[in-house]
């Protein structure tokens, strides 16, 4: 496999986030449409896995892709949503939380690209 380029990866994620945001907007727009089923897109991690990209540990001091020693724990799913009644299967609260997640991921993506761009410009200036 050839190298993974940060700008290409960030562009892929930006396109994925745009599609997800449009899907969420469609869910919200159709919240009162009878028999409408809420939709979502495949998570970006699964898109990368299908494309053959995966985390790689290039040095023994790096954290491995499986997250060993990261101190994670499994959390049980709970049904605690306060649901607004609509004529469809769309839960507005969940859709708005998804939209907030997309906005945060987009901000992170943009911040990383800006930082990498500044780093490349500094390296070229020498």
Q: Which residue has better confidence, 113 or 53?
A: 113
Tell me, yes or no, whether 77 lies in a domain: no
Q: Is 63 within the bounds of a domain?
A: no
pLDDT of amino acid 83:
45
Number of domains present in the structure of the chain = 1
Residue 99 and residue 21 in contact, taking contact as beta carbons nearer than 8 Å: yes
pLDDT band at 44 (very low <50, low <70, confident <90, very high): confident
Structural domain range at position 97: 6-52+84-125
Q: How does 50-71 read in b/e, with b if 16+ C-beta sit within 10 Å?
A: eeeeeeeeeeeeeeeeeeeeee
User: Per the domain annotation, does 75 fall within a domain?
Assistant: no
Residue 13 CB coordination number (10 Å): 19
Q: Which of 100, 9, 99 is nearest to 47 (CA)?
A: 9
Q: What is the pTM of this model?
A: 0.70
Is 76 domain-assigned? no
Question: Is 38 part of a structural domain of the chain?
Answer: yes
Evaluate whether residue 120 is within a structural domain. Answer: yes
61 vs 1, higher pLDDT: 61
| CA distance linking residue 91 with residue 101, whole number of Å | 16
Assess if residue 65 is contained within a domain. Answer: no
How far apart, in whole angstroms, are the C-alpha atoms of residue 126 and residue 120? 10
């Amino acid at each position: 496999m050839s190298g993974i380029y940060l700008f290409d990866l960030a562009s892929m994620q930006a396109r994925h986030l745009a599609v997800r945001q449009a899907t969420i907007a469609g869910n919200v727009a159709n919240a009162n449409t009878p028999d409408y089923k809420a939709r979502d897109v495949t998570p970006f991690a699964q898109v990368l896995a299908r494309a053959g990209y995966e985390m790689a540990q290039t040095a023994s001091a790096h954290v491995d892709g499986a997250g060993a020693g990261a101190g994670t724990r499994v959390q049980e799913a709970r049904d605690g949503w306060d649901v607004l009644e609509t004529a469809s299967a769309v839960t507005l609260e969940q859709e708005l939380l998804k939209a907030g997640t997309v906005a945060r991921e987009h901000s992170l993506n943009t911040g990383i690209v800006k930082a990498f761009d500044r780093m490349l410009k500094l390296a070229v200036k020498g």
